[in-house]
Structure 1
Amino acid sequence: MIEKDGVHGVLLHHRTADGKPPVTFAIAAQQTADVHVSECPYFLISGSSDAFTARDMWHAIKEHGSFDHLDSITTSACSERGSSIGAAVAASVTLSPQATHNVTFSLAWACPEVKFPCGKIYHRRYTKFYGTDGDAAASLVHDAIMDHGSWESQIEDWQRPILQDKRLPEWYKITLFNELYYLNAGGTIWTDGSPPIQSLASIEGRKFSLDMLNGDFENLTGIISQNNTAVDILDRMASILEKIHAPIASNSAIGTSLLQGDENIGQFLYLEGIEYYMWNTYDVHFYSSFSLIMLFPRLELSIQRDFAAAVMMHDPEKIQLLHDGKWASRKVLGAVPHDLGLYDPWFKVNAYTLYNTDRWKDLNPKFVLQVYRDTVATGDKSFAQAVWPSVYMAMAYMDQFDKDKDGMIENEGFPDQTYDVWSVTGVSAYSGGLWVAALQAASAMAREVGDKSSEELFWNKYQKAKSVYEKLWNGSYFNYDNSGGKTSSSIQADQLAGQWYAKACGLMPIVDKEKAQSALERVFSFNVLKFKDGKRGAVNGMRPDGTVDMSAMQSREIWPGVTYSIAAAMIQEGMVETGLRTAQGIYDAAWSQEGLGYSFQTPEAWNNDDQYRSLCYMRPLAIWAMQWAISPPKLHKEPWTGTSEDALIKHQASFSRVAKLLKLPEEEHSKSFLRVIYEITCSRLRS
């Protein structure tokens, strides 16, 4: 590579097979008045050849202390098929007895393209600054050598206030920063924000369709004159229906279409876990997103824009569900997707197929809560304006799950939320609390964008839902659900997720302080202390008699990320020592020398036998929610001025029209096991 500022090195160009993107490695050292740098650009690592070998390379260093004596012809060849090569850099320095000297080496690589299995290719974010040529590795390694001291200093400046905070125990400081490993190790991809390199015209578009039985678009005269968000949403829906074969860009979760000016900092993907291959799994990002909004807020806004765009997607492609073999649309209009896909992210969302997540009860509320939190955390009004239509549509979509029209959504008797093998029926502490908080967040979001009628609409719905939610209170905590089933009275560790997020967003609490503290004390006493003496975190479900809820795999698991979020909720309620003690169980299990050995691979879960599930998982980044609670950021909110009932009835009619159009078709009742056996037997007899 070309010498610059004394930086000498070697480039290794790796041309991959099968059309995969190329990669170039660079290794270099800096030559100074005291340090001499020499290079070995080629040596054979494996393969049958008479070329200069690794053994020869080490012999040269042993004999001469540098590579200056190498024959340039011998060491300047390309690798042959079936062989692999390496390169080396040597830095030589003469030292007096007892003297020391620092020598700076650096390794970097340039892989400018990201190619997904669908064939689409994107440029990585760094190419905005270093170009798309593989030789950018030379510039990267040069800048690392020249600037690493400044980078390290800035990292220390960032960490110092927390490390010197005497309120915080040492284990917490260690774990807080170490859990950030996942932002790098979680399969992270950061693109330059441009569309795929291929021409969009060459990519087949998808066909849009909606079930028109739920309503009609022709009879809108009764609400067109109202000039409110519902009309805008209806116009968008009508536009979608007109595009029978829409361009690909209009049916994708590319949130950069919502950007203005130079706000585009690219698109960001990270895996749910190294065993669960889905990009930006949203029900989990709900927990881990505190790390991004606190440390990389513009990346967090980018993710939320992508999901806002995804809310407006409708993809009728049928996918088969794993749990019952039925077929469902990949993603319907108004539903927040479970994830942004895998093989073709942003264009083909929902790689998750265990259940139909269009019927999940937590995704849409989590979207509304997150975008409101991100709005007030950043003060970015242009972001709020861009995502507001998606917020409104996401809330309208959920109206269909309020079966009895009391303002509260009901779970449908299957695992229709992030605890996806733990069934729940009726009004529930987890999903119900998220819904109550989301209604308040939607009202506050409307206030941020100046939509007074929507602010009043959602505030009215919030008050109704809140009164229903309070019926889950049993005097000590909130029941798991109101179905009256065997586990309805279970103590769910995550029962106050809605309260936690509402307070984190600067909203009014959805339950009063006494109830919140009582519920969290019960979680601490039962889910934490009655499980391995509090040294493993909070088990998800406990029975009132002090035994673990064994009704499902996930009810008897400890989820580190959820434990961190519960600790954050405790801290917000003034229970600081209780919160830290709860979270310390995760440190004891995952990070301490006496623990289970999960350092830098914190799993999604472990059980009472200390058996883990899904190493290297996204959710434990939720420890940054604890830091948010310990040192709350300044929030940029519009002041609440109260509401009136004047336009509420008219706007309710508009909202109901949108909700009706978004309603899913009625599902067939699931066949019983005996019915399935009967039909299989009959078909065999007929054959």
Structure 2
Amino acid sequence: PAEDYVVTPQGIPGAFLACFVEGFGARVLKTHSFPGYATLKAREIKYKGLFPRALVGYPEMGEVRVRLEAFSPILLDDVSEGYRDSSIPGAVFIFRLANLSGKTKRASVAMSWRNLVGVGGYPGAKIEDLRGNFISFEDGGLLFGSTRRKADPRVEGEYFLVAGAGEITYMAGWSPGREDFWRVFSEEGKLDNSSGRGNLGAVCSTVYLGPEEEVEVPMVLSWYFPNLLGDTDLKPNYGHAYNRWFSCAREVAAYLLGKYRKLLERTRAWQEEILRSSLPRWLGVKLINDIFPLASNSFYTEDLRFSVYEAHEMRGCLGTIDQRAASNSIYTMCFPRLSRSELSLFAKQQVGKGVLCDHWNFRTGRKDLKLDCEGAIRHEVGWDHLEGGTGPSQWPDIPPLFVLQCYEYVAWTGDLEFLDFVYPKVKKALEYEARLDQDGDGIAEVYGPGSMTYDNRDYPFYGASPYVASLQLAALRAGAKMARFEGDEGFESWCGQQESIIRRSLEDKLWSEELGHFYMWYDEMAENWRGSEREHDRFSDACFVSQLAGMWFADLLDLGYIVDEEKVRRTLRSIALKNGSVGGCPANIVERDGRMTSSWPYYAEVYYAAQAIYEGEVDTGLECLRKVYRAMHELDRSPWDAPLGWDYHLYPGNLPEDLPKGSPLRRLLDLKEGENRWATWGRWYMTNPASWFALPAIAGFSMDLLEGKLVMAPNLPSSMKKARSLPIFMPGFWGRVSCEQEEGLRVCLVITRFFREPLNFKKFVTKVPHGWKPGKVWVGFVVNGKEVFSERVVPDGRRVELNLPFSISGVGESLECRLKW
């Protein structure tokens, strides 16, 4: 609901941090609190968010500098069982107090928390069952619990608040106005160890700072809510993954206090890999903050099944295979077992034999076609449960997206057990996709609003679409590679035949030389829809930002060109000129007359920006990413819950009709500029990590462990002739790619983290930089300082392939390739 966009300045009442310095007094370290509490002005607080870390600077208090670093660990090199150390239900608040004077200072920091046991629910169905709630001082900290069962088992649990240094005092069960925290803390800088019946509890740590001494005071807030119920009639209790390792909030707090320094060091490590690299600073910050759905959207069970909520407003939609296509980056790169789990859920729920569905018939213009749905992939794995999605998806982009994500996982991990399991599912999905073609051109038809990923009334696609066709082409090529590995020559041949038919239809029927890009859709059977509720034109000549989504997958997975290379380049330039030319996020669709729709920027980040980087249009690809960064970080200023929809309301229906008078969204109702700069719908959207696919695009890095192939072909912006460090994160290792493009090409990979079995390769691939077309090149290839290849070769276009064995097995190992012409 629109009103859920409103956040009060106070936040959770009674939840705050505070600081006291003897001779100065006390402050609540936020801008709003209870009446009479001394707070800070917004300009006095310096905040930097680098998910999952928050760095906060406060004003100097009585010659004591006050800094805070808060975090909940996420480790991109986590090798613990079930990624335990990235799944801890707790947060650490580290105060750093520095005495800037020549005298000893007494200082205190405190944290107050509200007992939220019994609070939860959904938008429009909130739960607030506080019966039996209590706060008690136990084991050196405050336990927030309840003696009563709650209205919903999911809100049954506990919190624990503890400080890890200094002299500890507390107030358990305080209330503003009576048993009041502020009256005690502001006068003494300590609490009175009292116990009351209120719903708030606070812990205080007091330290003595010698002259010019700095002291670190950690505080931990942990929680333990063991019930994770599926929203079905049977209400299965999956339990949370953290139940495997902890039995109460106190255990969680003890674990964090004992290990917080090491966990913080490892959380900082991957962020420093990004921020100290050759990437623009703004892009590094964007990448770090874009992975917030790891915490806000994850559904992780005690038996280690995993999925991701599409968005909080989607009321429990889990998995969402089309959104997952653009957002699986961080999961497949750094948490591959989670990626395997979610893909397995989709595979196991594939539709079996004997299921017929009513489908739109392009010969009658009515929904009277009986479609054999064997092999269909569901759009989601469940709605707040893992028991199955809502029925066979007839969206034509779903099967190829499933196939491509399976191939991506297998190619990057080399998980042959998963390949053996999923290959029969891949075959059935591609065969089902072929049955969605009704006119013999090989391309599965789209049948109007709500018939694919772009699923609202702004996007009425009909007939053949280059978006669907390109996904089919990439999926068929991936399917053929899996078939070859599995020894299935018949299916490999079928994939090749289907690819030929679809490519011919795409390039002959859907390409417009006049437009310089593909038609958004083209329906040769449009006449059959006359008089139907879905009557439509024969074609749309609008420019669609995702029209060559499959080509991005082909670049990412080094599948080769699935569409004519020149048509790819011209299409990207048209998208840059039309969809990407506005000041805000790139528009999904731009009509020929200039009208444009809203932006779903995460698709633009991969299906346009990352693809443009691969294809040599690096500056325009980075500019697209920068515009999204600007909208989220500089204008909306809340990248940690960024939504799907960015609208300026040119098309009707993009905004809720019941906007309250005070809603900040009302400014959009009369906005005329075509900028797509303002956040509207779908906060906490799962697809934010899409930007991570820019890393392999810029580094030009790919690997395929089925083929034993490694690719390094960096794509640098025009302003950069060399890059000392382009970070890559892949399953089981991190690396830094460096590159020089002066007097030839020198590209090098150094392994900075390695936590998997050795990687064995049979082929190395690099590429001559865009713009060069040498007849022959001299190639030198060096493994760990030893030259293993030195010859002149003839490139295949830009591509240089070396067929020779090499391996990677540890930190510090390196590969270097040099080209001269």
Q: TM-score, normalised by structure 1?
A: 0.70
1:287 to 316, 326, 339: 326
**Other structure's SS at 1:106 match:** strand
Residue matched to 1:89: 203
Q: 1:518 aligns with which of 561, 567, 570?
A: 570
| Alignment match, 2:585 | 537
- Structure 1 window deviating more from structure 2 (325-334 vs 392-401): it is 325-334
Cα 1:328/1:20, change in 2 over 3 Å: farther
Aligned to 2:112: none
1:585 match: secondary structure: helix
Q: How large is the Cα RMSD of the aligned pairs?
A: 3.3
Q: Which amino acid aligns with 2:623?
A: R
Task: Please name the residue that 2:160 is paired with.
Answer: 26
Residue 525 of structure 1 and its aligned partner are, at CA, apart by 0.8
Q: Given that residues 137 and 143 in structure 2 are in contact (C-alpha distance below 8 angstroms), is that contact kept between their aligned partners in structure 1? A: no
Deviations along 1:242-278, whole A, 9 cap, x unmatched? xxxxxxxxxxxxxxxxxxxxxxxx1123221122221
Residue among 484, 490, 493 paired with 2:542? 490
Could you say which residue in structure 2 is the equivalent of 1:337? 378
State which of 498, 507, 511 in structure 1 corresponds to 2:559: 507
| 1:310 aligned residue | 349
Aligned to 2:271: 159
| Percent identical | 26
8 A Cα contact 2:522 2:539, kept in partner: no
Counterpart of 2:299 in structure 1: which amino acid? I
Q: CA deviation at 1:375?
A: 0.6
Distance of aligned partners of 1:100 and 1:330 in 2 relative to their CA distance in 1, 3 Å threshold: farther
Partner of 1:299: 338
Which string of whole-angstrom CA distances, capped at 9 and with x for unpartnered residues, describes residues 181-208 of structure 1? 222223x221122xxxxxxxxxxxxxxx
* 1:448, distance to aligned residue in structure 2 (A): 3.2
Q: Deviations over 1:309-332 (max 9, x none)?
A: 1114689799999xx999999995
Look up the equivalent residue of 1:302 and give its one-letter code: S
Partner of 1:101, secondary structure, is: strand
- Listed as ranges, the matches of 1:225-244 within 5 Å are none
Aligned residue in 2 for 1:676: none
Deviations 1:289-312 (A, max 9, x none): 122212222111111011001114
Q: Are 2:686 and 1:618 equivalent residues in the alignment?
A: yes
Greater shift, 147-156 or 478-487, is seen at 478-487
Q: Does the 8 A contact of 1:564 with 1:622 survive in 2?
A: yes
**Counterpart residue number, 2:481:** 444
Mark the CA change 1:26 to 1:441 in structure 2 (over 3 Å): closer, same or farther. same
Which of 159, 180, 185 is equivalent to 2:291?
Answer: 180
| Corresponding residue for residue 429 of structure 1 | 466
1:270-285 map, 5 Å: 270-277=308-315, 278-285=317-324
2:695 to 627, 648, 654: 627
Aligned pairs (5 A) from 1:76-225:
84-118=198-232, 119-130=235-246, 133=247, 136-166=248-278, 168-186=279-297, 188-193=298-303
Q: What secondary structure does 2:703 align onto?
A: coil
Cα distance in 1 for partners of 2:387, 2:160 equals 34
Q: Is the 8 A contact 1:562 1:620 kept in 2?
A: no
Q: Is 1:387 equivalent to 2:422 in the alignment?
A: yes
C-alpha displacement at 1:111, in angstroms?
Answer: 1.0
CA distance in 1, matches of 2:158, 2:372: 39
Contact 1:269/1:279, CA 8 A, preserved across alignment: yes
- Deviation at 1:281? 1.4
2:520 aligns with 480
Q: Separation in 2 of the partners of 1:465 and 1:381?
A: 29
Offset at residue 518 of structure 1 (A): 0.9
Q: Which moved more, 1:114-123 or 1:488-497?
A: 114-123
Secondary structure (helix, strand or coil) at the match of 2:214 reads: coil
SS of residue paired to 1:634 = strand
After superposing the two structures, state which structure 1 stretch, 58-67 or 600-609, moved more: 58-67
Q: 1:359 to 1:543 in 2, by over 3 A?
A: same
Distance 1:480 1:37 in 2: 66
Contact persistence 1:284–1:618 (CA under 8 A): yes
Unpaired segments of 5 or more residues in structure 2? 1-134, 525-536, 649-670, 710-761, 763-821
Which piece of structure 1 moves more, 477-486 or 502-511? Answer: 477-486
- Decide whether the 8 Å contact of 1:407 with 1:465 is kept in 2: yes
The residue identity in structure 1 corresponding to 2:157 is V
2:183 & 2:691 partners in 1: Cα distance?
A: 50
Residue 625 of structure 2 aligns with an amino acid whose one-letter code is: A
Letter in 1 for 2:553: Y
Q: Which residue of 1 aligns with 2:739?
A: none
C-alpha spacing 1:63/1:404, structure 2 compared with 1 (3 Å) = closer
SS in 1 for 2:569: helix
**How far off is 1:115 after superposition?**
1.8
Aligned residue number for residue 607 of structure 1: 647
Structure-2 residue corresponding to 1:548 = 595
Distance in 2 of aligned mates of 1:329 and 1:103: 67
- How far did 1:285 drift? 1.1
| Partner deviation per Cα, 1:384-420 (whole Å, 9 max, x = no partner) | 1111121111112122212233433222345421011
**Shift in Å at residue 599 of structure 1?**
2.7
How has the CA–CA distance of structure 1 residues 488 and 604 changed in structure 2, closer, same or farther, with 3 Å as cutoff? same
Q: Partners of 1:310 and 1:330 in 2: how far apart? A: 18
Does residue 17 (structure 1) correspond to residue 150 (structure 2)? The answer is: yes
Q: 1:607 to 1:90 in 2, by over 3 A?
A: closer
Counterparts of 1:536 and 1:39, CA distance in 2: 49
Letter in 2 for 1:268: F
Give 3-state SS (helix, strand or coil) of 1:113's partner. Answer: coil
> Which amino acid in structure 1 is aligned with residue 519 of structure 2?
N
Q: How has the CA–CA distance of structure 1 residues 357 and 619 changed in structure 2, closer, same or farther, with 3 Å as cutoff?
A: farther
SS in 2 for 1:189: strand
- Identify if the C-alpha distance between structure 1 residues 37 and 327 changes in structure 2 by more than 3 Å, giving closer, same or farther: farther
Q: 4+ runs of 1 displaced by more than 6 Å? A: 1-4, 314-321, 324-331
* Distance in 1 of aligned mates of 2:359 and 2:174: 50
| Cα distance in 1, alignment partners of residues 600 and 542 from structure 2 | 17
Higher strand share: 2
Residues 23 and 112, structure 1, Cα contact 8 Å, conserved in 2: yes
Residues 625 and 374 of structure 1: CA distance in aligned 2, closer, same or farther (over 3 Å): same
Q: Is contact 1:308-1:390 (8 Å) kept?
A: yes
More helix by share: 1
Amino acid at match of 1:144: L
CA shift for structure 1 position 160: 2.1
Q: Which residue of 2 aligns with 1:376?
A: 411
Provide the C-alpha distance between the structure 1 equivalents of 2:371 and 2:203, rounded to a whole number of angstroms. 52
Q: Residues 289 and 451 (structure 1 numbering): CA distance in 2 closer, same or farther, change over 3 Å?
A: same
The aligned counterpart of 2:605 is: 564
Aligned match of 1:584: 626
User: May I ask how many residue pairs the two structures share in their alignment?
Assistant: 520
Partner of 1:468: 505
Whether the aligned pair in 2 keeps the contact of 1:487 and 1:543 (CA below 8 Å) is no
Question: Matches of 1:487 and 1:141 in 2, distance apart?
Answer: 61
Determine which of 170, 175, 187 is the counterpart of 1:45: 175
Residues 100 and 512 (structure 1), Cα distance of their counterparts in 2 relative to 1, 3 Å cut = same
Opposite residue 164 of structure 1, the aligned amino acid is R
Which residue of 2 is the match for residue 636 of structure 1? 705
The one-character-per-residue Cα deviations of 1:553-602 (angstroms, maximum 9, x if unpaired) are: xxx1111112211101111112111100122111122212xx24443232
The alpha carbon displacement at 1:487 in A equals 5.1
Following TM superposition, by how much is the alpha carbon of 1:452 offset from its aligned partner in structure 2, in angstroms?
Answer: 2.9
Deviation at 1:65, TM superposition (A): 5.2
Match of 1:346 in 2: 386
